[in-house]
Amino acid sequence: MARLGKVELRIETEGDSHSIDATTNPVEKGNPMTDHILTKPHDYSLSGEILGPDYQRDKEYLISEMEKGTVFTYIGRNVVKDVLIMDIQGSVHSNIANGSEISIKLQTVKFAATPWTKVKNTGEKKPVDTKPAGTKVVYHVVKAGDTYSALAKKYNTTVKQLQEWNKYPPTKIPIGVKLHVGDTTSIGQGANSFSTKGGS
């Protein structure tokens, strides 16, 4: 028996898919040059049966947690941590008296963790904010094909500055994360950017 969270499943088939996006740029001679690689989330497909006197309740639980975005661990032939349920499909047959067939699609997910340290109050005065009033930090939401080089040109900054602001290496910028690309005193906002006050 396999297990997804607290629900036991009889899985007959497990499939997995792994892929990347590679950004290429043309050169004067020869093949285009690849300068950026983005790793896509891993996808898993499960096909089998959900059985038992409470199979309907278990199925409704999985659907409810899928809609909440609950992160699960799947244990079967593959053991996969940090997965979201992306799709659930079921079908009932007369030859399954106490359950139903079920197909589930899973996708791995990563969340950016920002480390922080609690600072004790020493009684010292806070440093004066040197930013002009109303200055907002501008962020860019990464989409497929984005590179530090392209973003530096788009937001009128440098690749070095982008790397100092952001922790991601140039070849492994995850899709969907926020990148600090400047502030509203130095750049305009693109269609894929947004701002927050004071750098929050």
pLDDT bracket for residue 170 (50, 70, 90): confident
User: CA-CA distance, 12 to 19, in Å (whole number)?
Assistant: 24
pLDDT at 186 over 90: no
Contact 49, 100 (CB under 8 A): yes
pLDDT tier at 197 (50, 70, 90 boundaries)?
very low
Q: Show Cβ contacts of residue 130 under 8 Å, excluding neighbours closer than 6 positions.
A: none
Q: Is the pTM of this model over 0.85?
A: no
Residue 161's region, left for phi above 0, alpha for psi from -120 to 50, else beta, is alpha
Q: How far is CA 123 from CA 119, 120, 129, in A?
A: 11, 9, 18
pLDDT in tens, 60-71: 999 999 999 999
> Residue 121 has what pLDDT?
65
State the Cα–Cα distance between residues 11 and 1, nearest whole angstrom: 7
For 138, the 3-state DSSP assignment is strand
Strand order in the sheet with 136-141: 178-183, 136-141, 193-197
Tell me the domains of the chain and their CATH numbers: 2-108 (2.40.30.200), 136-197 (3.10.350.10)
CB atoms within 10 A of CB 177: 16
pLDDT in tens, 121-145: 666 666 655 555 566 888 899 898 8
State residue 45's pLDDT score. Answer: 95
Closest CA to 171 of 159, 154, 189: 159
Please enumerate in sequence order all residues whose Cβ is within 8 A of that of 168, keeping only pairs 6 or more positions apart, or say none.
Answer: 174, 177, 179
9: which strand partners? Answer: 2
Check pLDDT > 70 for residue 117: no
